[in-house]
Amino acid sequence: MQLSAAITAYARFQEARGDAASHRRDCARVLALLRQQLVGPELAEVTSDDLRDFMITVRQRPGNNGHRPVTDATLCAYYRTLRAFFRWVQESGWIGRDPMRGVPKPKVGEYLIRPFSEEQVKKLLAQPDPETFTGLRDVTLMCFLLDTGCRISEALALTAEEWNLELRSARVLGKGTKERVVPFGVTTRAWLDRYLERRKESALTPYVFVNQYGERLTASAMGHRFAAYGRQAGVRVSPHTFRHTFAVNWLRR
């Protein structure tokens, strides 16, 4: 069997299993890069040396905008994708030995995620211009993330049917297709009211958080926007920092 055919079969398996679309896209991107580097060999011909070389290539790739090296988190994500794929291939009986057994897990540093301080939150929320559609959307989204601890992908997947503004809550589908209800406060509700009134002008998709053309947003795009606001405010920002801040504040309370 060709490597490309196995990758296609794996994508169908993930879809049938019910893996999140964002996860399937991430896996497909990693496996497409692998197929490109190996130039379409037979599946059984893929060796541990091939996969070690691939991981070295990933480590040497430039990061965002070519200015930073690939992060430890990215390296680990590539490794997990390859490990899951070749384990599935072996369990399917298409290869005798899993070549990932000869590939060492990337050594990564342990970094402390620092939550936002109250002053940093104020500075960050002051960066978007709420008089514009995108600025109003971004303030609303940031408030929602801080209030609920949702992952950015979970928030961007919300549709109008999953909100209960009267009860100030939203029904979120998380990892493993586990559903939960998250409450939010009056400030977030006020921003949502204002945003949703403006949102009526862009109704191309059922998703609540959309771009200026009414199209669904991606987590990557919002991550870049949040990082830009952070640079303006002098605050280090990633989408996960909102979730971490929520968790720390919840424990403190």
Measured CA to CA, the distance from residue 179 to residue 157 in angstroms comes to 13
Q: Which domains does the chain have, with CATH numbers?
A: 3-102 (1.10.150.130), 118-252 (1.10.443.10)
Instruction: Give dist(CA 224, CA 230) in Å, integer.
Output: 10
**Residue 56 above 60 pLDDT?**
yes
pLDDT > 90? residue 252: no
User: What's the whole-number average pLDDT of the chain?
Assistant: 87
Across 137-164, average pLDDT:
92
Give 195's pLDDT tier (boundaries 50, 70, 90).
very high
**Residue pointed to by tokens 């299993």:** 17
- Give tens-digit pLDDT for 211-244: 888 888 888 889 889 999 999 999 888 888 898 8
Q: Which residues of 127-152 are buried (b: 16+ CB within 10 A; e: fewer)?
A: bbebeebeebbbbbbbbbbbbbbbbb
Lowest-pLDDT range of 38-52, 60-74, 112-126 = 60-74
Residue 65: pLDDT band (50, 70, 90) is: low
Please name which of 128, 160, 130, 161 lies closest in space to residue 228, comparing C-alpha atoms: 128
* Verdict on whether the full-model pTM lies above 0.95: no
Q: What pLDDT is recorded for position 244?
A: 81
